[in-house]
């Protein structure tokens, strides 16, 4: 009777040992194939908890990086339009200087007036620039052009129909950046100056031409100021992007430490377990066979 109990205990112990070895092999095989230390949180609760926290932080950083990338695109378009604005105003200033020459006839100034009108039209189009379907200089009213113009009694009249809302985007924890400017501040004064200069040239009025030229100087300085302000924003955005890249790198390294398996070590352990399993199978077979023979005797 005692021999039968001992045989049963021996058999169960052999089965348990083999099962434990198979489970270890399965765990190591899963690590080897996935490259992860664990596939279920229950396998490593503390590491799983730390991994979850780190992954959430990484997700936040990557979302901010997407915001920085999109913001950078919008600021690049703003800078491009402001560069065009300054180039157009510089061209208008050069024409205004030429227009003040005492040797010009009324017909000469009429031709210059037509060129100033073309510059005004180009400036108007720049002020109504849209990016990914939204007008940049319209405040919050981004679905419609912010600048309007009408022709009446031989003159162009310009109006701003946007609002003064600020478009801000979060680019980091507690950090935002303003992405828009308003057309009435950036373009409207220059458009009105160009129209006064055009009318003065048409009228061959040297005094009015000089006054408009002086106003153009102020419009140029204002355009350069806006361009500088956008440049500062771009610099801040670039710095934020660099900081986010560093944070992302740190979180990825920390995640790797928490969840990535040492594949070389796993391979060694797996080979050792497989060898032990095969040896256990052979030993177990001999033990069980001997036990069965003793029982039959």
The separation between CA 32 and the C-alpha centre of its own chain, rounded to angstroms, equals: 35
Task: Assign 174 a pLDDT band (cuts: 50, 70, 90).
Answer: confident
Would you put residue 5 in left (φ > 0), alpha (ψ -120 to 50) or beta?
alpha
DSSP string, 138-195: BTT-TTS-SEEEEEETTEEEEEE-S-----EEEEETTEEEE---BHHHHTHHHHHHHH
Task: For residue 287, give every residue at least 6 positions away whose Cβ sits within 8 Å of its Cβ, in sequence order, or none.
Answer: 10, 14
Question: Is the model's pLDDT at 84 over the cut of 50?
Answer: yes
**Phi, psi angle pair for 71, to nearest 5°:** -65, -40
Percent of the chain with pLDDT over 70: 72
**Phi, psi angle pair for 79, to nearest 5°:** -60, -40
* Nearest-10 crossing angle of helices 206-259, 45-99: 170
Tell me the CA distances in angstroms from 175 to 38, 108, 139, one per residue in order: 36, 55, 20
Angle of CA points 27, 13, 270, to nearest 5°: 25
Tell me the CA distances in angstroms from 30 to 34, 267, 270, one per residue in order: 6, 11, 10
Task: Assign 52 a pLDDT band (cuts: 50, 70, 90).
Answer: confident
Average pLDDT over residues 59-66: 94
The dihedral sign for the CA sequence 208, 212, 215, 221 = negative
pLDDT in tens, 209-248: 999 999 999 999 999 999 999 999 999 999 999 999 999 9
* Nearest-10 crossing angle of helices 263-296, 2-34: 160
pLDDT, position 54: 87
Average pLDDT over residues 244-265: 78
Task: Assign 5 a pLDDT band (cuts: 50, 70, 90).
Answer: very low
* Separation of alpha carbons 222 and 204, rounded Å: 27
Q: Other C-beta atoms within 10 Å of 56: how many?
A: 11
pTM: 0.74
* Separation of alpha carbons 123 and 261, rounded Å: 60
Q: What are residue 36's DSSP bridge partners?
A: 260
pLDDT, position 255: 80
Q: Strands of 161-287 (E only): list them.
A: 168-172, 175-178
Average pLDDT over residues 103-113: 95
| Contact (CB, 8 A) for 199 and 157 | no
Which is more confident, 157 or 30? 157
* Separation of alpha carbons 69 and 187, rounded Å: 27
Task: Assign 273 a pLDDT band (cuts: 50, 70, 90).
Answer: low
Average pLDDT, the chain: 84
Q: Strands of the chain (E only): list them.
A: 130-131, 134-135, 147-152, 155-160, 168-172, 175-178
| Contact (CB, 8 A) for 10 and 291 | yes
Question: Is the model's pLDDT at 123 over the cut of 90?
Answer: yes
């Amino acid at each position: 009777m005692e021999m039968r109990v001992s045989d049963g205990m021996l058999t169960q112990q052999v089965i348990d040992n083999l099962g434990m070895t198979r489970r270890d092999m399965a765990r190591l095989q899963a690590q080897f194939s996935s490259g992860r230390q664990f596939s279920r949180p229950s396998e490593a609760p503390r590491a799983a908890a730390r991994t979850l926290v780190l992954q959430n932080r990484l997700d936040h950083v990557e979302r901010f990086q997407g915001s920085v990338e999109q913001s950078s695109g919008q600021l690049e378009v703003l800078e491009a339009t402001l560069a065009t604005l300054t180039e157009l105003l510089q061209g208008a200033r050069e024409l205004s200087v030429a227009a003040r020459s005492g040797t010009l006839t009324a017909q000469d100034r009429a031709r210059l007036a037509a060129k100033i009108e073309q510059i005004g039209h180009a400036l108007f189009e720049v002020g109504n620039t849209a990016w990914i379907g939204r007008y940049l200089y319209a405040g919050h009213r981004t679905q419609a052009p912010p600048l309007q113009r009408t022709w009446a009694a031989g003159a162009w009249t310009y109006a701003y129909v946007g609002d003064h809302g600020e478009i801000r985007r979060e680019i980091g924890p507690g950090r935002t950046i303003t992405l828009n400017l308003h057309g009435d501040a950036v373009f409207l004064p220059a458009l009105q100056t160009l129209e006064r200069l055009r009318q003065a040239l048409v009228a061959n009025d040297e005094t009015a031409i000089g006054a408009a030229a002086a106003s153009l100087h102020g419009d140029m300085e204002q355009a350069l100021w806006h361009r500088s302000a956008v440049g500062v924003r771009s610099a801040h955005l670039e710095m934020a992007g660099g900081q986010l890249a560093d944070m992302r790198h740190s979180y990825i390294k920390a995640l790797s430490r928490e969840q990535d398996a040492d594949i070389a070590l796993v391979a060694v352990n797996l080979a050792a377990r497989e060898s032990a399993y095969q040896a256990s199978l052979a030993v177990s077979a001999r033990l069980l066979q001997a036990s069965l023979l003793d029982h039959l005797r």
